[in-house]
């Protein structure tokens, strides 16, 4: 057996020799951003190790001891509500010899026992038991505290969406979210309790594509007519949904990598409730409508039901897909896992069931949308294997972008404004000097 070469990036971070201008320009990106293992590693070291990353919703860990296993970039983590009620994001690595401590996707536990040699950690991360401890000698007593599980130094939430940062320093979550808070507010405005429940389960899709392909595509207003042609055919025949005209649907770069497709102007013009919900008549949703009016009054409820939910990408890995929610975990340059669930409204079982059926129809394994997007992402990755031309074009709408107090807006839904915003942020973050 040959010796395993150590990868200096493991503890040093990537430092030199990366000129971000060579791969990202205002109107194009280089193919290597989707294929290069070095760039992928650099993304893990920068975007996912220094910034805020979405990890969970607080409804998923509502009871003390509730936990989920997730990833922050390439780091496996346990998101857990400790016995003190605090949500922590613990690194899922035993402090003895690195075994992955927790192997269930979710559960409730007061402690975690390592499957390898039985070291046991409380759900606040402290090391509580070491089998046959005397074997380590007396000095071990003192080092025990240092052997607590590592944890993300910063965990914060907005509207129940929990984010972690593996860096102790940097902008606050509020600063990071910036204008994206409005998208979360827009979703919460559709909940009679002002809260959400994300415990309806997650559909897990393996995409043979780079993680950025998966997230960028979510705010691509150009592809739908072609990639999803079968949806339009079905919808036209069933006459269940409004296909918005181009005029009042805008794409928007919200700054800091966040972006959206915004249908609200179109919906306001129509002044019709539930256009975003397959035009369900309010008589079909009596409990939900009554609860909305009770909570907010008829006027505000009407406005929320007209405007509907957001279609917003929150940098780097969370997508509020109307009533669905998607988060992605990058695995390799050409491999990504996407999880899709729904935003359920507490106490609204009938409404939630309808939302779930709709989400299955769009995002489920036999659904209309995600299968198309998964296939097109895979073909995109396959196309990148051809080395010429080297660049991907993101110039659409560059000349018609307008900056206002909501961000950089383009009145053409098919403009590549969201992608340009995404890569401006990408260049800022990935191009930064990392720890040496
Ligand atoms: S690796 Fe966890 S107890 Fe040994
Ligand atoms: Fe799509």
**Nearest ligand to the C-alpha atom of residue 223:** 2
Residue 18 pLDDT: 85
Q: How far apart are CA 126 and CA 142, in angstroms?
A: 14
Q: How far apart are CA 339 and CA 203, in angstroms?
A: 5
Edge-to-edge strand ranges of the sheet holding 28-30: 24-25, 28-30, 391-393
CA of 433 to the centre of ligand 1 (A): 35
Q: How far apart are CA 263 and CA 328, in angstroms?
A: 24
CA of 88 to the centre of ligand 1 (A): 21
Tens-place pLDDT, residues 8-30 = 434 434 445 689 999 999 999 99
Structure tokens of 238?
């069933």
Residue 235 pLDDT: 73
Tens-place pLDDT, residues 69-78 = 999 999 999 9
Question: What domains does the chain contain, in order, with CATH numbers?
Answer: 54-157 (2.102.10.10), 179-430 (3.90.380.10)
DSSP summary character for residue 275: G
Structure tokens of 235?
């919808």
**Nearest ligand to the C-alpha atom of residue 227:** 2
Q: How far apart are CA 193 and CA 294, in angstroms?
A: 10
Q: Is the CB of 112 under 6 A from ligand 1?
A: no
Q: Ligand 1 pocket check: which of 91, 92, 95, 99 to mutate, most ligand atoms within 8 Å of Cβ?
A: 99
Q: How far is CA 188 from CA 4, 130, 184, 219, 348, in A?
A: 50, 45, 6, 21, 14
Residue 17 pLDDT: 66
Is residue 24 within 8 Å of residue 30, measured between CB atoms? Answer: yes
Residue 436 pLDDT: 44
From atom 3 of ligand 1, which residue's Cα is the shortest distance away? Answer: 117
- Beta strands 161-165; 154-158: pairing state: antiparallel
Residue 366 pLDDT: 83
Residue 395 pLDDT: 98
Q: Is the CB of 133 under 6 A from ligand 1?
A: no
Q: Is the CB of 94 under 6 A from ligand 1?
A: yes
| Dihedral, CA of residue 339, residue 342, residue 346 and residue 352, to nearest 10 | -140
Structure tokens of 106?
């979710």
Residue 230 pLDDT: 86
Q: Is the CB of 99 under 6 A from ligand 1?
A: yes
Residue 7 pLDDT: 43
Stretches in the chain below the pLDDT threshold 50: 1-15, 244-246, 436
From atom 1 of ligand 1, which residue's Cα is the shortest distance away? Answer: 97
Residue 239 pLDDT: 62
Listed in sequence order, the residues at least 6 apart from 262 whose beta carbon sits closer than 8 Å to its beta carbon are 249, 250, 251, 252, 310, 311
């Amino acid at each position: 057996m040959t010796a395993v070469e150590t990868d200096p990036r493991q503890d040093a971070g990537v430092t030199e020799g990366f000129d971000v201008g060579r791969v990202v320009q205002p109107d194009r990106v280089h193919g290597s951003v989707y294929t290069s293992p070095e760039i992928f590693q650099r993304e893990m070291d920068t975007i996912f190790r220094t910034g805020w990353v979405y990890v969970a919703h607080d409804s998923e860990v509502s009871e003390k001891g509730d936990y989920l296993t997730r990833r922050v970039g390439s780091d496996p983590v346990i998101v857990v509500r400790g016995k003190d009620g605090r949500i922590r994001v613990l690194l899922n690595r035993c402090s003895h010899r690195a075994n992955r401590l927790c192997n269930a996707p979710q559960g409730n536990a007061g402690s975690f026992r390592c499957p390898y040699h039985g070291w046991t950690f409380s759900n606040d991360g402290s090391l509580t038991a070491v089998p046959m401890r005397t074997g380590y000698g007396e000095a071990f007593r003192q080092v025990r505290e240092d052997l607590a599980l590592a944890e993300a130094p910063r965990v914060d939430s907005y509207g129940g969406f929990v984010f972690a940062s593996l860096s102790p320093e940097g902008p606050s979550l509020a600063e990071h979210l910036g204008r994206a808070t409005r998208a979360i507010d827009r979703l919460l405005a559709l909940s009679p309790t002002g809260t959400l429940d994300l415990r309806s389960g997650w559909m897990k899709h393996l995409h043979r594509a780079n993680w950025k392909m998966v997230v960028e595509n979510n705010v691509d207003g150009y592809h739908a007519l072609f990639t999803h042609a079968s949806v339009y055919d079905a919808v036209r025949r069933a006459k269940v949904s409004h296909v918005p005209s181009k005029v009042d649907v805008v794409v928007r770069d919200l700054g800091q990598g966040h972006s959206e497709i915004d249908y609200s102007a179109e919906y306001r013009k129509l002044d019709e409730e539930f256009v975003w919900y397959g035009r369900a008549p309010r008589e079909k949703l009596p409990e939900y409508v009554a609860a909305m009016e009770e909570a907010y009054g008829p006027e505000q409820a009407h406005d929320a039901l007209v405007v509907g939910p957001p279609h917003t990408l929150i940098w780097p890995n969370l997508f509020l897909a109307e009533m669905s929610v998607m988060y992605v975990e990058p695995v390799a340059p050409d491999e990504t896992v996407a999880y899709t669930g729904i935003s359920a409204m507490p106490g609204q079982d009938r409404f939630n069931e309808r939302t779930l059926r709709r989400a299955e129809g769009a995002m489920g394994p036999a659904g209309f949308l995600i299968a198309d997007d998964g296939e097109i992402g895979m073909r995109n990755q396959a196309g990148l294997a051809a080395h010429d031309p080297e660049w991907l074009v993101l110039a659409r709408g560059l000349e018609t972008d307008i900056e206002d107090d909501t961000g950089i807006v383009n009145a053409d839904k098919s403009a590549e404004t969201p992608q340009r915003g995404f890569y401006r942020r990408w260049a800022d973050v990935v191009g930064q000097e990392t720890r040496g």
